[in-house]
Each structure stands twice: as C-alpha cells, then as structure tokens.
Amino acid sequence: MHIDIIETLPSLAKLEDNWNGVYDADDEAQIFLSWQWLNGWLSHLQRPWFILAAKAGESADLPYVAFLPLRLQNRIEKSDVVSDLRMAGNFAADYSGIICRPEAENKVIPAFARCIRQMNWARLNLENVRMSERRSRLLLACFPKANFNYTEVGRVNKVDGIDNSLCPYLTLPKDWNSYLESLSANTRQKIRRLLKQVDMPGEYRITVSTPETFAQDLKTLLGFWETKWRPRKGDRIESLVASNGAMLTRSFQSGMLYLPTFWHRDRPVAALATLVDPRKRAFLFYMTGRDETFDGPPSGVILHAFSIRHAIANGFSEYDFLRGNEPYKYSFGCAERKIRCTVLETRNGRNLGGGIDTRSIPEVLQLATELHRKGKSTDAEIGYRRILEVQPKHADALHRLGQLLAAKGDFAAAKRQFRILTTVRPDAAKAWQCLGQVCESLGQHEEALRQHLEFMRLQPDQPDGFVAVARCMAKLGRMAEINAAVLAAIEPASAPSVRKWRDWRPTPDRQTASEHSVSA
C-alpha cells in the first residue's frame, strides 16, 4: 500500500471526485470527513495539517482508496519542543476518523499506522473518533503498549454530568406519521400540539434562513448561545463564537446548513443550526441558542421536531444529535452510539525521532519568538535550535538565535549564527550589521570593520554604518581617518567622502592582519 501526503489546498481540491467516491462507499463516513466540510475547515485552520492518502501502488493513474486527515500542534516545555498529532477536524468536528473503501481497510489502516510511527510526535490524540471496533483494533495494533502509554479519556462533564462520548441519533422512517407512531403517546401528542402552534397563523412562527436573512439569523443564534455559555466558557467564548460563526457561514454557503428560527410575534426567541449531509442523507444537530427570558412553549422541542419533520419530508434517513446524552434527546426516540477518545504517548515524553516535523517550523518559530519577547530565553533557544536541526539555513531562526546568544554574552556562538546568516541572505544588511557588532564584542575590530563596510554598501543612506566604521577605526588606532568617516556620515549619500568610505577596503597588509585575527 502506497501512502502520499496531501498538505496544500490546491492538492486537496484535485481530489474532490476521488474523495467523494471513497466517502460514498464507506458506511462509516460522516459529514466531518466529507471533502466539502474538510476543505472549508482546513482553509481556516492556522496550524499545520496534512492528509494521509492511500492507494494500491505508486502509479499516478491509481485512485486513492482511503484518507486520514491529521494536524500538528506544538508546545515548548520540559526543555524541549513537544508535538501533538491530532485529528484534523478537532476542535470544530464532533466526530473524527478515517474514510476507507471497506474492501481495503485491512491493508490501509495498518499502513496509515506505520506511516504515523515514522513521524515526529510525543502524543497522538485520537479524539472523538467515530470508528468501528474492527478499524480501531487495526489502527491501535501498530502501537504496542510496551512502547506507548495509553489513556482512555472520559468525556463526562463535571458540571452537569453529561457524557459527551455518547451520541444519540434517530434512524428516520419514510414518512412523518410513521415516525410519530414510534414515539410514546405523550410525546407524540406533545409534538403535534407544539407544531400546530407554528403551522397555524398566530403569535408563533418559524422561519428558515435564506441568503437574505442568514447573517441576521446567525447573529441571533450566536448571541443566544454566547449568553448561555459565557459563564462556563470564560475567556474562550469570543474565539468559540468566531470559529463557530465562520464554520457555519461556510456550511451555509455550501448548502450544508439548515437554520430555522422560532419567533414570538416579531421577537426571535430561539434558533437551531443543523449540518446537512446530502451524500449520506443525514441531518446533524450542531448548536442551538434561545432567549433565556422567554417563558412560552419549549422552543428546543419545537425546533427539533420541525427539523426532523423537514428531514423526513426531504428523504433524509438519519437525524444525529451529535455528542452528549442530554435526557431531552432521548424523548425523540433515539438510539445511541459511542465515540472514543484515546491518547497515546511516547514513554519518555519526547518526540519520536527526537526532532520536529518540518511542517511544525512556522508554529515553533512563533512560539519561540513569543517566549523570546517575554524574556524566557532558555525555552526560546530550544525552539530556535530545534528548527535549525531540521532546516539549518532557516534565516529567521538563525537571526533570532544569534540575537539571543549575543544578549546573554555568548558572542562566539552568536557570531557563528550570523556568519551562516550572511551566506543564506547575503543581501540582508541587518545580517552584516549584527555580524559586525558581535565581532566588535569579541574584540575583532578589523573583521568587524569589513562587516560594517558591507552593511554600508547595502544601506548607503543609513548613518549607523558610518558610525560603526568610525568606532572600529578608533579601536584600531586610525585616528587620522576618523574625521573623514564622520564627515561622510553627515554628508549626502552622493558626496565624494561618502563614496570613498562606502568603497573603502583594507590594504593588503591590513587584510593579512585581519585574516590572522580570524584564524586566531
């Protein structure tokens, strides 16, 4: 089995038809693994992501038979960079997993696992995995407990006792009356009575979002949701509202969102967002919000019943309440499925292979730079060095590590970084300036002079170069030449004295002395 790695949106776009074919063939596929949903989510995702794609051989003509979307998340702790490998849909997807043609799973899933074993990570977070026991065994068999620590993570909320690993769902019949007959008499009568209030002209009504009303309907939903959850979510609420809003907007634009709003006269009192999977003929309830001050009919029951009726009328076969075993869900006649949250960790807590994945470089650079700015130089240095282990000529890491080393007085080590940087970016004036400065700190003034002259060549209008040259001249005892250097610093860049100093090079005797100084 041949595994390719897909890591760009244009590459993913080319796979749409192939992906949809696998998705349609796989009974375990669900909306959060659909090409359409993932393409939208990955375009929004900031952290590095990639997709393992399996086919029977290396030929470009062979179609892929399975896909596993993943992403990397990094942190700097315990004197190292530690990488987590997560399912790509977390944290927006209620479910994660693999899509695979059933006849290929016995070969594909072990091949995926072997590929993952070759990557650099300390923790594999298999969160919210909706997968058959058969597929789970095939995947986990490649991670023996002798080599990895296993943790089965519970999803019971400590505040309200809701178990978010249990996912109620309905298998929908062909018609609405058949569905009602499957319910208890009390529930059946209640739903009929409540829907009658919105079906008949009166003070209650339900509208369904259109392109013209969607923005306001979404604002209403998110406003209600934020009010309810702010006390529990705290500082995370703004980012959650923003990410949910972006995901729901993308879904609506793709025809994958059903958003009814319940009204009392001209007052919206509740809204419900349901993801629509036309390929699997499934409705998946994602989120709801209501005006907590409204004391009329139960808006949640009305909106769910309205949505279930709509799904049945349009030929859908499943209504999924997603994660959480809230009692009200079971009143609709639900069965339930269980998802798993398994965390695998390396025994020593370090990344497999000891280094970082090249895809992690932008995030690790950002983490190290933030630590550097906060004065946490030890951890920042670790981040820069891990980057340079896998990409020795990474210009930003070289520059920032050189600055860090110079700041703590390790000028010889800083010089090595800046020297490499000048070969990587020979046209970057700042690199030559930094190299000249650390040479000065080492007392290598002849060599520093050459670096400052190169800086002057690249930045002829900057007075810093003239000042640095004069400073080196003073250290070298060339007092007669300093006046000309000072004059050059205050004259226009086109003046003769400036041209003289910009083009100045050491005499042969001075060049030899300089080379002797470097080798010493």
Residue ending a domain, choose from 296, 323, 346: 346
Angle at Cα 90 formed by Cα 164 and Cα 62, nearest 5°?
120
pLDDT given for residue 512 in this prediction: 37
Cα-flanking dihedrals φ and ψ of residue 462, to 5°?
-95, 125
- Model confidence at 476: pLDDT above 90: no
For 481, the domain range is 443-515
Q: Same domain for 399 and 361?
A: yes
What average pLDDT does range 285-307 have in this prediction? Answer: 96
Q: Which of 125-139, 459-473, 494-508 has the highest mean pLDDT?
A: 125-139
Residue 486 pLDDT grade (very low, low, confident, very high; cuts 50, 70, 90): low
d(CA 307, CA 179): 13
What average pLDDT does range 403-419 have in this prediction? Answer: 97
pLDDT given for residue 520 in this prediction: 24
Residue 482 pLDDT grade (very low, low, confident, very high; cuts 50, 70, 90): low
Residues 70, 103 contacting (CB under 8 angstroms): no
Which region among 142-151, 284-293, 458-467 has the lowest average model confidence (pLDDT)?
458-467
Residue ending a domain, choose from 308, 338, 368: 338
- Model confidence at 495: pLDDT above 60: no
Residue 117 lies in a domain: yes
Residue 430 lies in a domain: no
- Model confidence at 519: pLDDT above 60: no
Residue 49 pLDDT grade (very low, low, confident, very high; cuts 50, 70, 90): very high
CA contacts within 13 A on the Cβ side of 4: 18
Residues 100, 52 contacting (CB under 8 angstroms): no
pLDDT given for residue 510 in this prediction: 43
pLDDT given for residue 513 in this prediction: 37
Q: Same domain for 488 and 401?
A: no
Residue 379 pLDDT grade (very low, low, confident, very high; cuts 50, 70, 90): very high
Residue 213, C-beta contacts closer than 8 angstroms, at least 6 positions apart: 207
- CB atoms under 10 Å from CB of 429, counted, come to 18
Q: Same domain for 170 and 150?
A: no
The pLDDT > 90 percentage for the chain reads: 82
Closest listed residue to residue 73, CA positions, set 54, 90, 56: 90
Question: Tokens 């520059």 belong to which residue?
Answer: 399
Q: Same domain for 374 and 473?
A: no
Residue 479 pLDDT grade (very low, low, confident, very high; cuts 50, 70, 90): low
d(CA 310, CA 260): 11
Residues 306, 195 contacting (CB under 8 angstroms): yes
Read off the pLDDT of residues 154-173 as tens digits, 9 standing for 90 and up.
999 988 999 999 999 999 99
Q: Same domain for 57 and 203?
A: no
Q: Same domain for 402 and 471?
A: no
Residue 159 lies in a domain: no
Q: Same domain for 318 and 395?
A: no
Burial grade of 497 (CB within 10 A; 0-12, 13-18, 19 or more): middle
Q: Same domain for 50 and 121?
A: yes
pLDDT given for residue 491 in this prediction: 58
Read off the pLDDT of residues 307-349 as tens digits, 9 standing for 90 and up.
999 999 999 999 999 999 999 999 999 999 999 999 999 999 9
- Model confidence at 241: pLDDT above 60: yes
The residue type found at 478 is: R
pLDDT given for residue 463 in this prediction: 83
pLDDT given for residue 515 in this prediction: 36
pLDDT given for residue 233 in this prediction: 87
Q: Supply the CATH number for residue 14's domain.
A: 3.40.630.30
Q: Supply the CATH number for residue 411's domain.
A: 1.25.40.10
What average pLDDT does range 238-266 have in this prediction? Answer: 95
Residue 381 lies in a domain: yes
What average pLDDT does range 19-25 have in this prediction? Answer: 98
Residue ending a domain, choose from 303, 338, 373: 338
Read off the pLDDT of residues 113-158 as tens digits, 9 standing for 90 and up.
999 999 999 999 999 999 999 999 999 999 999 999 999 999 999 8
- Model confidence at 470: pLDDT above 60: yes
Q: Same domain for 192 and 295?
A: yes
Residue 500 pLDDT grade (very low, low, confident, very high; cuts 50, 70, 90): low
Residue 295 lies in a domain: yes
Please list the residues that pair with 129 across neighbouring strands. Answer: 96, 340
- Report the SS3 class of residue 202: coil
Q: Same domain for 60 and 150?
A: yes
Residue 470, C-beta contacts closer than 8 angstroms, at least 6 positions apart: 482, 485, 486, 489
pLDDT given for residue 487 in this prediction: 60
3-state secondary structure 347-401: CCCCCCCCCCCHHHHHHHHHHHHHHHHCCCHHHHHHHHHHHHHHCCCCHHHHHHH
Residue 461 pLDDT grade (very low, low, confident, very high; cuts 50, 70, 90): confident
Residues 261, 271 contacting (CB under 8 angstroms): yes
Residue 228 lies in a domain: yes
Looking at every residue in the chain, the average pLDDT score rounds to 91
Residue 488 pLDDT grade (very low, low, confident, very high; cuts 50, 70, 90): low
Residue 516 pLDDT grade (very low, low, confident, very high; cuts 50, 70, 90): very low
Cis omega (within 30 of 0) on the bond before 91?
yes
Q: Same domain for 148 and 38?
A: yes
Closest listed residue to residue 16, CA positions, set 40, 32, 37, 36: 36
Q: Same domain for 125 and 204?
A: no
Question: How many structural domains compose the chain?
Answer: 4
Residue 72 lies in a domain: yes
Residue 438 lies in a domain: no
- Model confidence at 70: pLDDT above 80: yes
Question: Tokens 């990094």 belong to which residue?
Answer: 74
